[in-house]
Structure 1
């Protein structure tokens, strides 16, 4: 194979990733799209330019011989169905995160992948951001000694705009936003530390969004639109204060990782700003990021070595492409995986484990904060 021909399922929020695969004169090309919306089909076709096979039935992509790989960019609750169907049809698969919205779903996907003989890649694009790659390199170099503690604060500014005006706000579609939004951060904790979480205790609640508004109410037709702080005049129009919303907008997790490393993760969806603050503390120092100003700070503690006499500030260089330059890199790695068997920075099992933590934390939250153990064993039982 000299070129990977890709069919895309879903032209919604992550549909923009397809632009990095569409290189008609290169090693990958987008040749087809499946989406339920005619408007999205038309807009996608216009943006890609060259003629595509368009359909509202994703199964039509799976029977085509001119498609080598499927990019599953559909809503979270459809990932399991779409990924397994594509693997069983003999296609390589790129799946957006989260891999599924249940651990059982992830395990069914992994089983289908192992049987298929095809490649499966999970879309953890934060692993491809230079800031977090740099932080991992600093820790791996021994600059802060032995890693002991991880603190992560995720300020989700515009949380309502992104997650409470559409399907994300209902747990039947997401389980919780600890999967949809938190899976990135939980995965980075696992990846940079090199350890998986073994147990978690969590507290959370729906403190701002949701309410008593009708599920059919949309922003444009609401009598309160001129005074509502969550009014959205375009794109997502479902009321952010409607009755069906039941996913927490304020979450706090405490985890223990393999080797006894302690970690915390905080996520809030009604903050005025948007940033992720990571702090890693070791026996000889700590590092902390500032993703607003694109800096990483390394601070050292007393070690009776020359290391203790200086702190270091890293300034990240700007990169082209969405998500801080990560999207074109992860898209290229999927092509490299198929054409040259080059292993990417992500793994299906890592995708499974971030979902496992998110599900366990959600269980803890909804049962009063009890400690929930996290198993690496498959949930599938064959009779």
Structure 2
């Protein structure tokens, strides 16, 4: 039977819907939903005239879809996902899962009570740089992991996150969710445990100085993005409200004793992530995070040695995470059609968001140490038995 798939939200991330028909699973994109009637033209450009356009989830339900891809703004994730799950529709939910811990748990509860399949699009678990680092850890080449550091240079931050709703606390919580949830999830996955305690520090240091403001709701990212938008203070047309931090730092203690840190800056000239994994017998670090980069391992004692003792090339995702998007969509559709394990995990997605939210609370309350709210045991048990990560 061909899976009938809809996409909810025809914004910048809706492009992932184009992978549905080519995912290697018998599936077809049949509908697009957006509350803005003017989004119909974008839906036609992305998906063609054969994909129906509707303006409500009720209308989508009338089209008898089996699965839906939710790419709405972050603050709309919980309502859309709960509605669909309780209607018996399998859901691919873009990360972050939601912008509050309570909404994360509401989504998981809807999946638990309905039995509908829930998949969260943490596509970085399919990126080669992450797989390479995880394989190195699994091989024992650096011993037992004891510390993980991640520095995220968000060189496109001004264009990506400060010209639309991403710049507003009320819409995203903080960029430790929108951006940090990716890396926190990777830290958890590689280290093999979730965060229990956090301390956060951060500030809005640059983009609050930019006085050029505009309501960009009539445009999308592709309309204003350019590497020529430099230096950061010279940006134009920032969102009317800018109240999220553009620099954030988080210290984490994981349940297995691993210590981790995550740093994020949205006004660097370069755009990439650097992970350093330190074990009892060595360390691994990536230089570049897409095609052409490398992961290097140091596991013998010596003074400074630039190239390390071992070197592994990074393959795929030459232009970003497009290849990971394709793999993630194929995994979701396969999960809907056949069940089984997935590399991503709703519980892991919840724990990444809970860490980011709690770290944000810490940094906004004077960097006080805070503890992550636990997940209800019934939900943990359900997902452990129905969607065990591969």
The two structures have a TM-score, normalised by structure 1, of 0.88
> Alpha-carbon deviations, 1:185-222, whole Å to 9, x = none?
000001111110110001100001125848656799xx
Point out where structure 1 has 5 or more consecutive residues left out of the alignment.
232-237, 304-309
8 Å CA contact 1:284, 1:302 repeated in 2: no
1:246 aligns with 2:251: no
Paired with 1:26 and 1:139, the residues of 2 have a C-alpha distance of 32
8 Å CA contact 2:128, 2:316 repeated in 1: no
Q: 2:275 aligns with which of 278, 284, 288?
A: 278
Determine helix, strand or coil for the equivalent of 1:195: coil
Indicate the residue corresponding to 2:20 in structure 1: 21
Paired with 1:377 and 1:318, the residues of 2 have a C-alpha distance of 35
Indicate the residue corresponding to 1:193 in structure 2: 191
Determine helix, strand or coil for the equivalent of 1:325: helix
Paired with 2:149 and 2:376, the residues of 1 have a C-alpha distance of 29
Q: Residues 101 and 152 (structure 1 numbering): CA distance in 2 closer, same or farther, change over 3 Å?
A: same
Q: Residues 314 and 23 (structure 1 numbering): CA distance in 2 closer, same or farther, change over 3 Å?
A: closer
* Displacement after TM superposition at 1:253 (Å): 0.8
Determine helix, strand or coil for the equivalent of 1:252: strand
Q: 1:91 aligns with which of 84, 89, 92?
A: 89
Determine helix, strand or coil for the equivalent of 1:107: helix
Indicate the residue corresponding to 2:265 in structure 1: 268
Indicate the residue corresponding to 1:291 in structure 2: 288
8 Å CA contact 2:127, 2:317 repeated in 1: no
Point out where structure 2 has 5 or more consecutive residues left out of the alignment.
224-228, 303-307, 379-390
8 Å CA contact 2:94, 2:121 repeated in 1: yes
Paired with 1:37 and 1:329, the residues of 2 have a C-alpha distance of 30
8 Å CA contact 1:129, 1:324 repeated in 2: no
8 Å CA contact 1:199, 1:373 repeated in 2: yes
Indicate the residue corresponding to 1:173 in structure 2: 171
Determine helix, strand or coil for the equivalent of 1:358: helix
Indicate the residue corresponding to 2:10 in structure 1: 11
8 Å CA contact 1:22, 1:48 repeated in 2: no
* Displacement after TM superposition at 1:104 (Å): 0.4
Determine helix, strand or coil for the equivalent of 2:124: helix
> Alpha-carbon deviations, 1:24-78, whole Å to 9, x = none?
995111000011334432222233235122112233112332x101110110000
Q: Number of paired residues? A: 360
8 Å CA contact 1:203, 1:365 repeated in 2: yes
8 Å CA contact 1:200, 1:255 repeated in 2: yes
Between 84-93 and 319-328, report the one with greater CA deviation: 319-328
* Displacement after TM superposition at 1:178 (Å): 0.2
Indicate the residue corresponding to 1:127 in structure 2: 125
Paired with 1:19 and 1:264, the residues of 2 have a C-alpha distance of 35
Determine helix, strand or coil for the equivalent of 1:21: helix
Over aligned residue pairs, what C-alpha RMSD do you find? 2.6
* Displacement after TM superposition at 1:337 (Å): 0.2
Paired with 2:245 and 2:330, the residues of 1 have a C-alpha distance of 35
Determine helix, strand or coil for the equivalent of 2:234: coil
Paired with 2:23 and 2:296, the residues of 1 have a C-alpha distance of 42
Paired with 2:319 and 2:230, the residues of 1 have a C-alpha distance of 36
Paired with 2:138 and 2:24, the residues of 1 have a C-alpha distance of 39
**Whose helix fraction is larger, Structure 1's or Structure 2's?**
2
8 Å CA contact 1:285, 1:300 repeated in 2: yes
* Displacement after TM superposition at 1:325 (Å): 1.3
Indicate the residue corresponding to 1:230 in structure 2: 235
1:63 aligns with 2:65: no
The two structures have a TM-score, normalised by structure 2, of 0.86
Paired with 2:347 and 2:168, the residues of 1 have a C-alpha distance of 26
> Alpha-carbon deviations, 1:299-331, whole Å to 9, x = none?
10349xxxxxx8110012335786151011000
8 Å CA contact 1:76, 1:174 repeated in 2: yes
Determine helix, strand or coil for the equivalent of 1:8: strand
Indicate the residue corresponding to 2:385 in structure 1: none
1:355 aligns with 2:360: no
8 Å CA contact 1:211, 1:245 repeated in 2: no
Q: Residues 26 and 203 (structure 1 numbering): CA distance in 2 closer, same or farther, change over 3 Å?
A: closer
Indicate the residue corresponding to 2:30 in structure 1: 31
Determine helix, strand or coil for the equivalent of 1:375: coil
Paired with 1:54 and 1:168, the residues of 2 have a C-alpha distance of 25
Paired with 1:48 and 1:167, the residues of 2 have a C-alpha distance of 25
